[in-house]
């Protein structure tokens, strides 16, 4: 006989706690997808980052030079040399000015060396604790050695009365190579800074030497339209070699790095291969609007262009110098580079010393990092909830608004629904890219889903007791 079971003993079940988001379906829900191949939804007025349609991504712009500091109270600043945390600047008849540049955004004048008898100070070169300055005068020694161990109180420790005006000084080891104008190229032994002594000289005869560069083994001296390669260690040898320039190309400045000599020719920046000193050879050039003085640092030449300000030239391939970027200044005279900053003397009245950030680590501009969309959805019913997912690298933060930007709300790009504190019918997004060394943030894809329904979170639900009760009066008598 089959006995129907009409009862069960009581049993307790602990219901599992749930944690999820429930979102009712709605005909007014929608999805926005962005691959950044067009700027249809870019709010350009509110954005500073790079919406790159060619690459299909949001990124940071390449860094562009910007003025970060200046000292404008001192006019007529000309030659400059940076050593450590200090910039040494000549100021014509007002001598040498020394600036503390430990904070590049706020150059601070800390020391001064007055020109004797108001003589014109042409140039300055600093090595270690000594500054070597050149004068044009008839009443005093034209080559001075200053002890700048204490930059706030530079002190004269030695001098040498050169035959001509000292217009440029290059230091190589214990030798000072001097462009001595009418007296040609002069080399002094400065192993004893208190007592500079004659070492060697070369006078091309009838030509003034205005600019000079040097290595341990060679001197490169420039007259107006010819550069000489000279052996400074053998007084019996004439110049090893020379190379002329056109009459329309006057040499205004000269630098040497390894086997390459670089010439500033006013309207041209030229590269000379001197690996064979007997036969210097032009291997590259690039036009300029007014190359005056320049500085070689790594793979770049920084040109003080009196027409266009600061120019940066890539010389990684000396046979093909290429323009990189520029920064407009009134009358750029000379430049030196330390770290990511170029220190430029702007010789116009009152223009003074300018500090320009020329490069940033990873070569990106971390401050131009904001992107904002225009309206991506405007449904009839107010948008109450949203979720966002992205394909990104690095640190990118997101915000969302449903009321056209009146109220922004942080949102994670994790695909989890978020309720708006301020619902509305004008949906927009905003992103901020946070740069860190070695990690350049970018976004290659974005999806935003929205709904006029509220996302409901169900969580921490307590367990409930369930019991099965018999459906007969007497569980021991099935017939009842």
Q: In this structure, what CATH number is given to the domain that contains residue 348?
A: 2.130.10.10
pLDDT above 70: percentage of residues in the chain: 86
Pair 166, 280 in one domain: yes
Q: Do residue 228 and residue 288 come from a single domain?
A: yes
Statement to judge: residues 330 and 217 lie in one domain = yes
Summarize pLDDT for 63-120 with one digit per residue, the tens: 889 999 999 866 778 999 999 999 999 988 889 999 999 999 999 999 999 987 778 8
Q: Would the pLDDT of 469 be above 70?
A: no
| Count of CB atoms situated within 10 Å of the CB of 331 | 17
Per-range mean pLDDT, top range of 266-270, 287-291, 315-319, 350-354: 315-319
Boundary-marking domain end, from 359, 386, 403: 359
CATH number at residue 30: 2.60.120
pLDDT of 466 over the 70 cut: no
Phi, psi of 92 (to 5 degrees): 50, -115
Asked if residues 360 and 413 have their Cβ atoms less than 8 Å apart, the reply is no
Please tell me the predicted confidence (pLDDT) of residue 130. Answer: 98
Domain shared by 109 and 231, yes or no: yes
Asked whether the predicted pLDDT for residue 191 surpasses 70, the reply is yes
* Domain span at 392: 20-62+368-458
Other beta carbons within 10 angstroms of residue 116's beta carbon come to: 16
Same-domain check for residues 383 and 354: no
180 & 302 share domain = yes
Burial 422-457 (b: 16+ CB within 10 A, else e): ebbbbbbbbbbbebeeeebbbbbebbbbbbbbebee
Tell me, yes or no, whether 80 and 200 share the same domain: yes
How many domains are there within the chain? 2
Which tokens is 414 given?
């994790």
Residues 440 and 355 in one domain: no
Q: How confident is the model at residue 350 (pLDDT cuts 50, 70, 90)?
A: low
What is the Cα–Cα distance from 168 to 188, expressed in whole angstroms?
Answer: 13
pLDDT at 467: 38
Residue 154, pLDDT score: 97
d(CA 312, CA 366) in angstroms, rounded, equals: 20
What mean pLDDT is reported for the chain? Answer: 87
Q: Which of 198, 196, 197, 220 lies closest to 209, judged by CA?
A: 220
Domain contains 78: yes
The whole-number average pLDDT for the span 348-354 is 75
Specify if 446 maps to a domain. Answer: yes
Q: Among 55-59, 145-149, 247-251, whose mean pLDDT is lowest?
A: 247-251
Whole-angstrom distance, CA of residue 454 vs CA of residue 54: 38
Q: Which helix (H) or strand (E) holds 138?
A: none
User: What is the average pLDDT across 159-169?
Assistant: 93
Tens digits of residue pLDDT in 410-440: 999 999 999 999 999 999 999 999 998 888 9
The confidence score (pLDDT) of residue 473 equals: 52
Instruction: Evaluate if residue 18 carries a pLDDT over 60.
Output: no
- Tell me what pLDDT residue 179 has: 95
Which one of 326, 359, 392 terminates a domain? 359
Tell whether 350 and 381 lie within a shared domain: no
15, pLDDT greater than 60: no
* Whether residue 55 is found in the same domain as residue 70: no
pLDDT on residue 348: 66
The per-residue pLDDT for 22 is 46
Q: Does residue 440 share a domain with residue 320?
A: no
Does some domain include residue 57? yes
Does any domain span residue 478? no
What is the predicted pLDDT for the residue at 73? 66
For residues 366-395, give the mean pLDDT. 96
Same domain, 51 and 74: no
Look at residue 24 and tell me whether its pLDDT is greater than 60: no
244 versus 88: the higher-pLDDT residue is: 88
pLDDT grade, residue 212 (50/70/90)? Answer: very high
Burial class (CB in 10 A: 0-12, 13-18, 19+), 413: buried
Q: What is the pLDDT of residue 3?
A: 40
The answer to whether residue 28 scores a pLDDT higher than 80 is no
Predicted local confidence at residue 361, as pLDDT: 78
Domain final position from 323, 339, 359: 359
pLDDT for 462 beyond 50:
no
Cα distances (angstroms) measured from residue 345 to each of 35, 70, 268, 458: 46, 10, 20, 67
Task: Work out the pLDDT band at 374, boundaries 50, 70, 90.
Answer: very high
Q: 257: exposed, middle or buried (C-beta count within 10 Å: 0-12, 13-18, 19+)? A: middle
In a domain, 95, yes or no: yes
- Looking at per-residue confidence, does 308 or 446 come out higher? 446
User: How far is the C-alpha of 339 from the C-alpha of 6, rounded, in Å?
Assistant: 89
Can you tell me the distance from the alpha carbon of 413 to that of 431, in angstroms, rounded to the nearest whole number? 11
**In-domain check, residue 236:** yes
Q: Is residue 246 assigned to a domain?
A: yes
- How many residues are recorded in the chain? 480
Residue 9 lies in a domain: no
């Amino acid at each position: 006989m089959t006995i129907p079971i009409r009862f069960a003993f009581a049993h307790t079940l602990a219901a599992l706690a749930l944690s999820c988001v429930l979102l009712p379906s709605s005909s007014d829900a929608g999805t926005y997808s962005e691959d950044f191949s067009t700027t249809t939804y870019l709010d350009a007025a509110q954005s500073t980052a790079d919406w790159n349609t060619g690459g299909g991504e949001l990124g940071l712009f390449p860094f562009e030079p910007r003025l970060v500091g200046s000292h404008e109270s001192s006019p007529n600043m000309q030659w400059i040399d940076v050593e450590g945390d200090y910039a040494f600047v000549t100021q014509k008849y007002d001598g040498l000015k020394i600036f503390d540049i430990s904070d590049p955004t706020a150059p601070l004048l800390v020391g001064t060396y007055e020109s004797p008898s108001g003589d014109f100070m042409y140039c300055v070169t600093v090595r270690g604790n000594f500054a070597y300055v050149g004068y044009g005068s008839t009443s005093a020694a034209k080559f001075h050695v200053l002890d700048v161990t204490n930059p706030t109180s530079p002190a004269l420790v030695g001098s040498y009365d050169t035959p001509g005006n000292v217009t440029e000084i290059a230091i190589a080891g214990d030798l000072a190579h001097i462009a001595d104008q009418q007296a040609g190229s002069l080399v002094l032994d400065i192993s004893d800074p208190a007592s500079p002594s004659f070492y060697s000289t070369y006078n091309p005869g009838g030509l003034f030497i205005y600019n000079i560069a040097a290595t341990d083994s060679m001197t490169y001296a420039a007259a107006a339209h010819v550069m000489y390669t000279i052996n400074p260690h053998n007084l019996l040898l004439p110049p090893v070699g020379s190379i002329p320039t056109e009459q329309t190309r006057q040499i205004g400045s000269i630098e040497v790095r390894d086997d390459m000599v670089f010439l500033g020719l006013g309207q041209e920046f030229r590269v000379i291969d001197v690996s064979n000193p007997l036969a210097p050879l032009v291997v590259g050039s690039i036009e300029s609007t007014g190359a005056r003085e320049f500085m070689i640092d790594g793979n770049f030449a920084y040109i003080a262009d009196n027409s266009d300000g600061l120019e940066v030239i890539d010389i990684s391939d000396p046979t093909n110098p290429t323009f990189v970027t520029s920064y407009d200044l009134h009358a750029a005279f000379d430049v030196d580079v330390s770290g990511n900053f170029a220190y430029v003397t702007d010789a116009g009245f009152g223009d003074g010393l300018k500090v320009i950030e020329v490069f940033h680590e990873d070569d990106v501009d971390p401050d131009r990092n904001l992107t904002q969309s225009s309206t991506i959805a405007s449904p009839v019913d107010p948008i109450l909830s949203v979720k966002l997912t992205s394909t990104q690298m690095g640190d990118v933060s997101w915000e969302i608004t449903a009321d056209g930007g009146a109220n922004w709300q942080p949102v994670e790009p994790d695909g989890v629904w978020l309720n708006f504190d301020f619902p509305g019918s004008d949906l927009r997004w905003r992103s901020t890219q946070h740069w860190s060394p070695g990690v350049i943030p970018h976004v290659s894809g974005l999806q935003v889903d929205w709904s006029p329904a509220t996302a409901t979170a169900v969580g921490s639900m307590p367990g409930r007791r369930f019991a099965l009760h018999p459906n007969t009066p007497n569980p021991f008598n099935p017939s009842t």
